[in-house]
């Protein structure tokens, strides 16, 4: 274990012991708010301190086993070597667990997410690729037991989408999808290509956390312009006769959101406001993340829309994530929703970067 990490853990253990003493102090017990705040901090540190205690116990056992390895008795040495192997594996696992506990969790990780996919360079092929990405995320959501609902869509002339915005609801949706923000590039031979040439097209993906009014940035109603219009989506005669679709413009920033999926104007307005809160909060978080990441090698999950994060090469059945130099040759499985290997690798790299920042 690195010295910087050990020193941090020792400081946490000292603070944990200090809080434990304070919680037994009658003066603290007489102040309910102070007692509650200390109790929350104590609970947050407790799992780290307990895991650190187990780690130090294994270190002591490992030192004893290594001392036994120098015993003149061959039987004792053999037993010691076996014990050393087991303890070293346990210590390594404990160190990994401690690293994960030290990295502060994103408070938005358990939230639902908004998924936005937009065709960029490549014309009709980009729209078709946007449809492929939407199906990939839809199937991944099914695998995770999440629900997915389209809020607004603009279909391409030859299939796919010029733009599609949806809400993904389920435990850990934002935590798993947040690294998908960025520019996705596809390399393949389009169905309309008669000479078999490979074309390159791009789409942008944005992942926004769904937040409540309490968690979001403050929005002044006077800063909003709300327009209603007739939905262009499915719905038969109802959408043709009723101005149920809602478009909201946040005047200070120019952010525009719209929702036309529901037949009720009230529901569409509520959905659009939720999306607006998500976009404004994400803009603030991105600004802070960009400042923090300026001196870091990786920018995993910063949501930089201009960054080419991933390439889907169909002729080679290859997926490459350029942020972590990950290459997998099973594109068919991934495009059908088997994203866990990609997302797990991104999450591991993100944790490593966060841990490095702590040091």
Specify the pLDDT at position 184.
95
Enclosing H/E stretch for 130: helix 124-144
For residue 268, tell me if it sits in a domain: no
Mean pLDDT of 183-196: 83
Whether residue 20 is found in the same domain as residue 95: yes
Least confident span in 74-78, 175-179, 212-216, 339-343: 212-216
User: Where among 71, 102, 133 does a domain terminate?
Assistant: 102
User: pLDDT at residue 213 above 60?
Assistant: no
Enclosing H/E stretch for 200: strand 199-209
Task: Find, among 185, 190, 189, 188, the residue nearest to 205 by Cα.
Answer: 185
Least confident span in 122-126, 146-150, 226-230, 240-244: 240-244
Percent of the chain with pLDDT over 90: 45
User: pLDDT at residue 232 above 90?
Assistant: no
Classify residue 144 as exposed, middle or buried by CB count within 10 Å of its CB (0-12, 13-18, 19+).
Answer: middle
User: pLDDT at residue 294 above 70?
Assistant: no
Number of domains in the chain: 2
User: pLDDT at residue 4 above 60?
Assistant: yes
Enclosing H/E stretch for 128: helix 124-144
Whether residue 28 is found in the same domain as residue 146: no
Three-state secondary-structure class, residue 14: helix
Whether residue 92 is found in the same domain as residue 129: no
Whether residue 196 is found in the same domain as residue 319: yes
Instruction: With 0.85 as the threshold, say if the pTM is over it.
Output: no
For residue 316, tell me if it sits in a domain: yes
For residue 24, tell me if it sits in a domain: yes
User: pLDDT at residue 73 above 70?
Assistant: yes
User: Where among 49, 80, 102 does a domain terminate?
Assistant: 102
Whether residue 211 is found in the same domain as residue 315: yes
Secondary structure (DSSP) of 273-339:
HHHHHHHHHHHHHHHHHHHHHTTSS--TT---TTSEEEEEETTTTEEEETTTTEEES-HHHHHTT--
Whether residue 84 is found in the same domain as residue 207: no
Whether residue 136 is found in the same domain as residue 50: no
Mean pLDDT of 19-38: 92
For residue 71, tell me if it sits in a domain: yes
For residue 248, tell me if it sits in a domain: no
Q: In terms of DSSP bridges, do strands 147-155 and 326-328 run parallel, antiparallel, or are they unpaired?
A: unpaired
User: pLDDT at residue 185 above 80?
Assistant: yes
Ramachandran category for residue 203: left, alpha or beta (phi over 0 → left; psi -120 to 50 → alpha): beta
Three-state secondary-structure class, residue 150: strand
How confident is residue 308, by pLDDT bands cut at 50, 70 and 90? confident
Kindly give, in sequence order, each residue whose CB lies less than 8 Å from that of residue 289, ignoring residues fewer than 6 positions away: 299, 301, 302, 303
Whether residue 315 is found in the same domain as residue 171: yes
Specify the pLDDT at position 49.
94
How confident is residue 252, by pLDDT bands cut at 50, 70 and 90? confident
User: pLDDT at residue 295 above 60?
Assistant: no
Task: Find, among 290, 215, 213, 279, the residue nearest to 252 by Cα.
Answer: 279
- Which of 81-95, 220-234, 241-255 ranks highest by mean pLDDT? 81-95
Specify the pLDDT at position 303.
33
For residue 246, tell me if it sits in a domain: no
Classify residue 20 as exposed, middle or buried by CB count within 10 Å of its CB (0-12, 13-18, 19+).
Answer: middle
How confident is residue 304, by pLDDT bands cut at 50, 70 and 90? very low
For residue 243, tell me if it sits in a domain: no
Report how far apart, in Å, the C-alpha atoms of 160 and of each of 85, 100, 124, 314, 335 are.
55, 39, 8, 17, 15
Averaged pLDDT score across all residues of the chain? 84
Whether residue 33 is found in the same domain as residue 170: no
Q: Tell me which residue range forms the domain holding 57.
A: 3-102
d(CA 119, CA 125): 9
Specify the pLDDT at position 119.
92
At 12, phi and psi to the nearest 5? Answer: -65, -40
User: Where among 58, 77, 102 does a domain terminate?
Assistant: 102
CATH number at residue 180: 3.30.70.1660
For residue 97, tell me if it sits in a domain: yes
User: pLDDT at residue 46 above 60?
Assistant: yes
Least confident span in 15-24, 103-112, 203-212, 261-270: 261-270
Whether residue 140 is found in the same domain as residue 83: no
How confident is residue 143, by pLDDT bands cut at 50, 70 and 90? very high
User: pLDDT at residue 241 above 60?
Assistant: no
Whether residue 136 is found in the same domain as residue 157: yes
How confident is residue 358, by pLDDT bands cut at 50, 70 and 90? low
Specify the pLDDT at position 340.
94
How confident is residue 351, by pLDDT bands cut at 50, 70 and 90? confident
Whether residue 32 is found in the same domain as residue 151: no
């Amino acid at each position: 274990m690195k010295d910087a990490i050990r020193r941090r853990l020792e400081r946490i253990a000292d603070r944990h012991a200090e809080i434990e003493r304070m919680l037994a102090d009658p003066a603290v017990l007489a102040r309910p708010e102070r007692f509650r705040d200390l109790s929350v901090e104590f609970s947050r540190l407790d799992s780290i301190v307990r895991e650190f205690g187990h780690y130090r116990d294994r270190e002591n056992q490992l030192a004893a086993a290594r001392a036994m390895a120098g015993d003149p008795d061959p039987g004792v040495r053999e037993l010691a070597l076996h014990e050393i192997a087991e303890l070293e594996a346990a210590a390594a696992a404990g160190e990994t667990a401690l690293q994960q506990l030290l990295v502060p969790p994103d408070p938005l990780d358990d939230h639902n997410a908004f998924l936005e996919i937009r065709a960029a360079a490549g014309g009709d092929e980009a729209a078709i690729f946007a449809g492929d990405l939407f199906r990939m995320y839809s199937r991944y959501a099914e695998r995770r037991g999440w629900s997915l609902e389209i809020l607004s869509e603009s279909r391409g002339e030859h299939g796919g989408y010029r733009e599609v915005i949806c809400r993904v609801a389920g435990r850990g949706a934002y935590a798993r999808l947040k690294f998908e923000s960025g520019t996705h590039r596809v390399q393949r031979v389009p169905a309309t290509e008669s000479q078999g040439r490979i074309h390159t097209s791009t789409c942008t993906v944005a992942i926004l956390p769904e937040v409540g009014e309490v968690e979001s940035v403050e929005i002044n109603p006077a800063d909003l312009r709300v327009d209603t219009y007739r939905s262009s989506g499915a719905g038969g005669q109802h959408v043709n006769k009723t101005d149920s679709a809602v478009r909201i413009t946040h005047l200070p920033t120019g952010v525009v959101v719209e929702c036309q999926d529901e037949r009720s104007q009230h529901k569409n307005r509520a959905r659009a406001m939720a999306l607006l809160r998500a976009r404004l909060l994400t803009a603030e978080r991105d600004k802070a993340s960009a400042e923090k990441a300026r001196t870091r090698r990786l920018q995993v999950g910063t949501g930089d829309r201009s960054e080419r994060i991933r390439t889907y090469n169909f002729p080679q059945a290859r997926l490459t994530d350029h942020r972590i130099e990950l290459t997998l040759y099973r594109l068919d499985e991934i495009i059908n929703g088997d994203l866990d290997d990609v997302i797990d690798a991104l999450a591991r790299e993100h944790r490593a970067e966060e841990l490095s920042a702590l040091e």
